[in-house]
Structure 1
Amino acid sequence: MPRFARGFNVEQAHAWLARRDRRLAAWMRRLGPLPAPEGWARRFDPVDALARAILFQQLSGKAASTIVGRVEVAIGSARLHADTLGRADDAVLRACGVSGNKLLALRDLARREAAGEIPSLRRMAVMEHDAIIEALVPIRGIGRWTVEMMLMFRLGRPDILPVDDLGIRKGAQRVDKAADMLAPKALALRGEKWGPYRTYASLYLWRIADFSESPILKTNRSQD
């Protein structure tokens, strides 16, 4: 059974994409090489990462970080898991700023973890990315996009293209100088040219979508 490393050679990915797509290559020269995401080298706990992803949904990075900090204080741990989240009842977590829907999602995550339904990091290392997505999207509050962010920024899988992401679609539109954004299915076809390094192409598409001559402040993300 193949074992998947966390991360890939970004220099190799850069060279490959520069040869494969002339339009993207022009932007790559303009923006310069992009480094590997820092998350590839950090200790990683899938359940904790999913819990944080739930808490970050539909909030600014600053607001979500504040709520996560309150939850950590309430449970007395920086590790969000079934055992630690169980230290605080629903009222306590709601007082931290956790919405009703997010609370239900956290409880579902904890229940599934306790039942052994969440693959461990060791198990994920031998799973194809589609299998990881299939295993995690049944969790309440966890959609395909959330798992794709984990695959890209934590597991370092090289060939992920989140076609439903607005920034990715805007970046591709800007690369192609198109009047309209591509629909997700069309973007998936367009992105076949970037395989097997669609993750690295995605990092550029986000930068391209946000590009301006003025500096942009960094936003906290759940997977940072």
Structure 2
Amino acid sequence: MPPDHSKAVARLKKACPTMKGLIDRVGPCAMEYETKRTPFQSLVSAVAHQQLHGKAAQTILGRYRNLFPGGRDPGPKTLANVSDDDLRGVGFSRSKTAALRDLAEKAISGVVPGRKEIETLSDEEIIARLTQVRGIGKWTVEMLLIFTLGRGDVWPVDDYGVRSGYQWAYGLDAMPKPKVLEELGEKFRPHRSHAAWYLWRATELAKVK
């Protein structure tokens, strides 16, 4: 069954008239979660998508999975045994190959938590742990928090789409800076992830207009 966003959306509509207007234009929240992925698998995908369009990244990930039996996502120990040449051969750059190496090592050592452990950690603890991995920044972890773990109160203030969407939806002359957006997002607690989703949709409406 798809996740039920109705309560969060109803509360957002009550929290702010402008957000209510945006929600009415966009319609029901269609945000989906990839809950079957482990944190390790989500970060492998995130590394693949860095600085690439979605189709190119998916092509690389498809080749990557074909390195393993059944074409499935490997665990960290299996990835650790793959050569750099094989990773480069499927399309990962030198820097991304190094990032995957570090990711596998930190997953094996326990810095990157497994699916059960990560559920016991706060958003802040997860960010602190995962940003220790080479090439993984706060924004990447925030996307994991929202779309893999389904955390409801994540507010990615550095995200261009959220900043641009807020500017358009609220009729601002310029995109709010991250520190300002942090304060502006207080009215959306504890459903800032859903607010971000609607602001991403606002950027699409802005292009149509």
TM-score norm. by structure 1 comes to: 0.87
The residue aligned with 1:37 is 32
Q: Which amino acid in structure 2 is aligned with residue 155 of structure 1?
A: L
Which moved further from structure 2: 121-130 or 104-113? 121-130
Larger relative CO (CA 8 A, sep 6+): 1 or 2?
Answer: 1
Q: Does 1:22 align with 2:17?
A: yes
State how far apart, in whole Å, the 2-side matches of 1:10 and 1:33 are: 8
Match of 1:166 among 144, 160, 181: 160
Q: Does 1:51 align with 2:41?
A: no
Conserved 8 A contact 1:8-1:156: no
Conserved 8 A contact 1:47-1:80: no
1:27 CA displacement: 1.0
The residue aligned with 1:60 is 53
Match of 2:137 among 122, 135, 143: 143
State how far apart, in whole Å, the 1-side matches of 2:43 and 2:162 are: 22
Match of 1:88 among 82, 87, 95: 82
Q: Deviations over 1:17-69 (max 9, x none)?
A: 10111111111111111134142xx4121111111111111100000001111
The residue aligned with 2:113 is 119
The residue aligned with 1:217 is none
State how far apart, in whole Å, the 2-side matches of 1:192 and 1:8 are: 24
- Determine which structure has the larger helix proportion and give its number: 2
Query: 1:160 aligns to what SS in structure 2?
Result: coil
State how far apart, in whole Å, the 1-side matches of 2:140 and 2:111 are: 17
State how far apart, in whole Å, the 1-side matches of 2:207 and 2:108 are: 49
Q: Deviations over 1:191-219 (max 9, x none)?
A: 001010000001100001112686xxxxx
Which moved further from structure 2: 78-87 or 128-137? 78-87
1:8 CA displacement: 7.3
Q: Deviations over 1:67-125 (max 9, x none)?
A: 11111112344213322223421111111110011000000011111212211111111
1:149 CA displacement: 0.5
The residue aligned with 1:73 is 66
Compared CA separation, residues 117 and 60, structure 1 to 2 (3 A): same
Alignment of 1:2-13 (within 5 A): 9-13=4-8
Q: Kindly, what percent of the aligned residue pairs are identical? A: 37
Q: Which runs of 5+ in 1 are unaligned?
A: 1-6, 215-224
State how far apart, in whole Å, the 2-side matches of 1:48 and 1:38 are: 14
Matched positions, count: 206
